[in-house]
Structure 1
């Protein structure tokens, strides 16, 4: 009887496709415990957690190695490699992943219960499904207080191919994405993009015309803090985003219009950042650059919006946030 139960459990385990959770870290000793624990505690059995540290100078590698010793069958760690930067570290982790599906998790973000199981169930509906994501709670790290749901800034959508992803620059938070491994290009994350390579990575997965979609519910917490790469290195962020549009446009000319719309959005984001720093003349010039790429009336309100008093911004978000997500994005 005992061996029958063991056999049954083993068969159930083997029937579930293997999932790799890909985590990259760099000097995140404050957050890595929460990150790893949330991945390890997922109720999905056929799971490996692949974490690659990028030469941290703090206690991050030590914490990761402790988890490897405690969960040798669950955690696969790379903690003695050289510093490769974000994209290089992503590829180093990717090369160690052996799952049929790969879930991306930031080294400071938290997965919520049932995430992996729910996304695998979504993929099981069709072999044509190659990318799945979901909503995430954006929270302030120092206070642990919720800022908003990510869907308030980028409404959840589903479709086929990369056009909408190119135009919007994102589907959801990167830490919510799971992809079918067979859809990943051989080179993985594009090394021509040193910091922001996840956007093109997702585009590449959808280039073949695969389906993308979302599961209902919030299954991750996206942490906001002073060390966020997007907040700390905005110049490189924008450079990589612009480079992505030029690379995609060159490699897949059928997406030229979508790339122009994306560049308009990027220039609009730069204009908003400039207006936030009270560099109004440069903000207007950047807005005009956005208009030349692809006119959208929604970009100008975003720039004007950032100049308004905080109480008025909150009122406008309450009234118009659902129809103009750019207002939420400008605010947060």
Structure 2
């Protein structure tokens, strides 16, 4: 266990943030978007574009953990970072640190009140995705997280499927709020990462990874 923790600590120490203007341009982001990416050359451009197209009335920062990809992903990420130095923060190292350390180093960099996830092989299609979800949490301070439905695109066949066809509005509306939380835990209701927006403090309390 000690060796594992020391290994994680070394990976953090070896990681660095690529030069950008985000801290000065956006001193107090309301939302931090986090992308972890490795070998996603076919998808990362669309992922980043889906974040950059968001229309909001609040400031955001976009943190990308690039885990030393060798397929061209790294070059794409760094090019976007050069084009959008006031929005994108790239955290990386000169070797592959692994998914766990990559995610945690990005999490440590987050400054926003709210956090959204969009991994390197996912993308958003609604330019108002963040605005709608932030509005919901701002209007309901007792809520710790909101999430949406999502679809799966098979890039090989260009077909779209619904991974959770049972999760309709009626499915969720039939439960009281407190019961629904228990159902999510007990029935292991799948909450897809690109669909989520959560309060940073809620994640800290819950110990989510």
CA offset at residue 185 of structure 1?
A: 2.0
Instruction: Give the distance between the partners of 1:92 and 1:67, measured in 2 at CA.
Output: 20
Check whether the contact 1:29–1:60 (CA below 8 A) recurs between aligned residues.
yes
Highest RCO, 1 vs 2 (Cα 8 Å, sep ≥ 6): 2
Match of 1:116 among 109, 112, 130: 130
**2:194: which partner in 1?**
175
**1:88: which partner in 2?**
101
Gaps of 5+ in 1: 1-13, 191-332
Check whether the contact 1:151–1:172 (CA below 8 A) recurs between aligned residues.
no
Match of 2:145 among 100, 119, 131: 131
Gaps of 5+ in 2: 1-25
CA offset at residue 144 of structure 1?
A: 2.6
Query: 1:46 aligned to 2:59?
Result: yes
Alignment of 1:47-62 (within 5 A): 47-62=60-75
**2:30: which partner in 1?**
18
Instruction: Give the distance between the partners of 2:122 and 2:194, measured in 1 at CA.
Output: 7
CA offset at residue 188 of structure 1?
A: 5.6
Check whether the contact 1:53–1:81 (CA below 8 A) recurs between aligned residues.
no
- What's the C-alpha RMSD, in Å, of the aligned pairs? 2.4
Instruction: Number of aligned residue pairs: give it.
Output: 175
Compared CA separation, residues 57 and 186, structure 1 to 2 (3 A): farther
Instruction: Give the distance between the partners of 2:37 and 2:97, measured in 1 at CA.
Output: 11
Deviations 1:234-263 (Å, cap 9, x if unpaired)? Answer: xxxxxxxxxxxxxxxxxxxxxxxxxxxxxx
Check whether the contact 1:154–1:171 (CA below 8 A) recurs between aligned residues.
no
SS at match of 1:184: helix
Compared CA separation, residues 189 and 183, structure 1 to 2 (3 A): closer
CA offset at residue 39 of structure 1?
A: 0.4
